[in-house]
Structure 1
Amino acid sequence: MRLRITHETRYDYAPAVEHALHVVHLKPPSIACQERVDYGLEISPTPAVLREDVDIYGNVRSFFEISETHESLIVRATSLVQTETSKPVQSDITWESARDTFIYHANAEWHPAAEFVYPSTHVHPGSAFAEYARRSFPPGKPFIDAARDLMHRIHEEFVYSTSSTQISTPAAEALANRRGVCQDFSHVMLACLRSLGLPARYVSGYLLTQPPPGMPRLVGSDASHAWVSVYLPDVAASNRGHGWYDLCPTNHREGWGTPGDDYIRLAVGRDYADISPMRGVVHGSGTHSMSVGVTVEPTQAQALSD
């Protein structure tokens, strides 16, 4: 599937901003089941400085500085991505063996997946998460099957409610209330896995949403999406180190590379704080308003073939 993504963020300031520094994670990578065909980043006002680099997790990020006074800021990222259907993974390692791989001991070699076992800004493992997870993790159960069951339970037992949480809402609150959005479901699942000593990371991206029957696709009506990756040591050992497998508790989807050809990955990190689409600091503004519009649509050729 070939998908075009437009992600536009607009800030309006009162009074005007005198100086601004921002960083964005908006460039999709080329990975298994996903190839970035084209990408463009438009910023208004024109930045005095714009540079791109790769962070510690391999994500492409852009830094920009605006040194002129401005009352509004518009950042528009346009991507063209070719996706493929992902495949289920075969893994037999038990969850206890996967956990034991990352238990620290003297002279242990550093493993890049190890930091995804520990707490992070929005993910604080604890007894409540461990208790919720244990039903999915009986002794000797394969890690991948247990993780699938946990994904299924969150999908079935939590209510998707756009007005129930904010990004600052603790995962413990989302767990207690059994409601939230994709970020909350992902943070809860991460906290459950890490509470058992299992490595899991946060994935940001997009999802092709379908309009109701007979209704047109509305420009700007889509949104960013989030899901989870778990690390499977036995798969990594047989697959040149690539042991991450994606699970989406919001939609009960899974796959190698992404959970499906209607998903587009943007970035991976410990949680949302590592890879928010856009963040920064400004000087000189009292208040601001923000609007975000995301459109994910098949290209014309794809739409005609369907």
Structure 2
Amino acid sequence: MRYKVRHTTRYSYPARVTSCYNLANVLPRDTRRQRCLSSKVTVSPTPAVSRSRTDYFGNHAYQFEIQKAHQELVITAESEIQISEAQPDLNLDFGISYAQALHYMRNNRSHHALEAREYLLNSPMIAATEELTNYAQPSFIPDRSLKSCVAELTTRIFSDFTYDPEFSTIATPLSEVLEHKRGVCQDFAHLQVGCLRAVGIPAKYVSGYIETLPAPGEEKLVGADATHAWVAYFCPDEGWVEFDPTNDTAAQTQHIVTAYGRDFLDVTPVKGVIFGGGSAPALDVSVDVSRVSED
């Protein structure tokens, strides 16, 4: 499946911004199941300085500086992506067991194992607490396949938690999400990453896009697609495997990856520093994911 993605972020400021310095994670990366064919970022006003680089996590980061006064900032990322492989169905029960995976992570000293173990550590927004361990543990039976354990956890989060865009912000603690059982895709991804780390399985936060399809007989609206978040866990047999707790599914061809990180703070779509601008700037985000062809 081939897609074109257009992601526009617009900031409108009540007062003049004299200068700003920004980092954007809006360029899709290559993964085992995805290849970025082309990508570009357009910024208005025109930056005085801009450059692309590969960050610590292997993501394609775009840095820019605007050094003239402005009251509106528009960042548009346009990309073409080839998705070549869907992830396995949630119901498949095969591969190494949970106990075998734990033994591998504790004893293997290969490059891949040591690299994966970094994602067992706490990160700024995710700490492996006793509450997360208690929530996750019923799904992780030692002699059960690891994939089946993670699939059940994915389904439980989908069933136990309510999608509520009014409940949380980017700063809502994970403990509150767990207590109230409400949140959005970012919260559910953080929750599943925290649960996996708490039971000894390395897990990444995945930032990207998901194609939304209209109801039968309805036209797709411009800007109706969305940024999205899901997880990737490390399996010694298969490498990094992606699951989406918000939709109770393995990552499919509609899931387009922009960045991997420890949590949301590593892969924020746009972050930076501004001088001026007043209080309460307005933010508008529009995402269009268009199918170019089907293989």
TM-score by length of 2: 0.92
Please show how residues 1-306 of structure 1 align to structure 2 within 5 Å: 1-88=1-88, 92-103=95-106, 111-235=114-238, 243-254=239-250, 259-287=251-279, 288-299=281-292, 302=293
Distance in 2 (CA, whole Å) between partners of 1:274 and 1:127 is 24
3-state SS of paired residue (1:18): strand
Distance in 2 (CA, whole Å) between partners of 1:4 and 1:72 is 26
Aligned 8 A contact 1:182 1:250 in 2:
yes
What are the ranges of 5 or more consecutive residues in structure 1 without an aligned counterpart?
236-242
Q: For residue 101 of structure 1, report the CA deviation from its aligned partner.
A: 3.5
Distance in 2 (CA, whole Å) between partners of 1:270 and 1:90 is 27
Distance in 2 (CA, whole Å) between partners of 1:277 and 1:90 is 35
The code of the aligned residue for 2:282 comes to S
When residues 87 and 120 of structure 1 are mapped into structure 2, their CA distance, relative to the original with a 3 A threshold, is closer
Aligned 8 A contact 2:158 2:245 in 1:
yes
The code of the aligned residue for 1:250 comes to T
Distance in 1 (CA, whole Å) between partners of 2:275 and 2:285 is 22
The code of the aligned residue for 1:45 comes to P
Q: For residue 190 of structure 1, report the CA deviation from its aligned partner.
A: 0.8
Q: Deviations over 1:74-121 (max 9, x none)?
A: 00001111212424288532223323444489x997811111101111
Distance in 2 (CA, whole Å) between partners of 1:86 and 1:174 is 30
Q: Deviations over 1:241-267 (max 9, x none)?
A: xx100111111221xxxx111111111
Misfit runs of 4+, over 6 Å: 107-110
3-state SS of paired residue (2:139): coil
Distance in 2 (CA, whole Å) between partners of 1:139 and 1:197 is 12
Alignment-derived partner of residue 239 in structure 1: none
Aligned 8 A contact 2:42 2:77 in 1:
yes
When residues 91 and 48 of structure 1 are mapped into structure 2, their CA distance, relative to the original with a 3 A threshold, is farther
3-state SS of paired residue (1:112): helix
Distance in 2 (CA, whole Å) between partners of 1:187 and 1:96 is 24
The code of the aligned residue for 1:38 comes to S
Aligned 8 A contact 1:91 1:234 in 2:
no
Moved more, 155-164 or 195-204: 155-164
Distance in 2 (CA, whole Å) between partners of 1:65 and 1:103 is 44
Aligned 8 A contact 2:93 2:148 in 1:
no
Q: For residue 34 of structure 1, report the CA deviation from its aligned partner.
A: 1.7
Distance in 1 (CA, whole Å) between partners of 2:215 and 2:148 is 33
Moved more, 87-96 or 289-298: 87-96
3-state SS of paired residue (2:114): coil
Distance in 2 (CA, whole Å) between partners of 1:244 and 1:4 is 25
The code of the aligned residue for 1:260 comes to Q
Q: For residue 124 of structure 1, report the CA deviation from its aligned partner.
A: 1.3
Moved more, 30-39 or 180-189: 30-39
3-state SS of paired residue (1:63): strand
Moved more, 265-274 or 79-88: 79-88
Aligned 8 A contact 2:212 2:224 in 1:
no
Distance in 2 (CA, whole Å) between partners of 1:126 and 1:6 is 38
Count how many residue pairs are aligned between Structure 1 and Structure 2: 290
Distance in 2 (CA, whole Å) between partners of 1:298 and 1:167 is 30
Aligned 8 A contact 2:205 2:232 in 1:
yes
Aligned 8 A contact 2:93 2:145 in 1:
no
The code of the aligned residue for 1:248 comes to D
TM-score by length of 1: 0.89
Q: For residue 180 of structure 1, report the CA deviation from its aligned partner.
A: 1.1
Aligned 8 A contact 2:259 2:267 in 1:
yes
